[in-house]
Structure 1
């Protein structure tokens, strides 16, 4: 059996389809790691992780920035910076409605990140 990694085509993270075999099953190729790393990096900050949780769990699937900002002891521009980072990483979408911006999670990329980290328990002997 060859120890070489199987050929993997990096798919569009917007597609919602699994991009790769879980880390616990097969080595991740450099090309795939380069595509996925910005999303993991964005989630590596505690404030952004909390924001992502608030956005993903919002009633109706979206939340206004006006509801996010008061939850933190940070300035509006700092919250905006964190939200922009989540947007640039492809984790959330945003729509401006009048003076407010509404955010919603992108479930496709969240499923891909979760699938990549999936670990199955070995069968009991």
Structure 2
């Protein structure tokens, strides 16, 4: 008997597990995806980390190229992506641009990950 000719047994009813919290809405998932996409590049992670590790979570663009072997325009592109994702703000002061971490954006990201980790912990318990 071939696989296509195997007898089909009775179909069991699907018993879905009860929800313990609401899943992400389409809008929330879309917003988080933008942030995760921005953070998916190692250079952008390093730039964000470099800014976050400085006093006041702020750094001048002139300080950000230290240890990163990229041209200034490429670094500026990565900073623009982080700004567009809402992770950084920027401010021009004289001829330099200063970048600052947006704490609320990191907090929202952390909260979303904590919710998902909490749900996984409950399932695996």
Which structure: greater helix fraction? 2
Which of the five TM-score ranges fits, normalised by the shorter chain? Answer: 0.7 to 0.9
TM-score after normalising by structure 2: 0.74
After superposition, the CA RMSD in angstroms is: 2.4
**What runs of 5+ residues in structure 1 fail to find an aligned partner?**
6-23
Structure 2: state its 5+ residue gaps: 1-15
Give 1:1-125 correspondences, 5 Å limit. 25-118=21-114, 119-120=117-118, 121-122=121-122
For residues 33 and 18 of structure 2, the distance between their equivalents in structure 1, rounded to whole angstroms, comes to 22
Over alpha carbons, which structure has the higher Rg? Answer: 2
* Superposition misfits of 4+ residues, deviation over 3 angstroms: 2-5
TM-score, normalised to structure 1's length? 0.74
Number of residue-to-residue matches in the alignment: 104
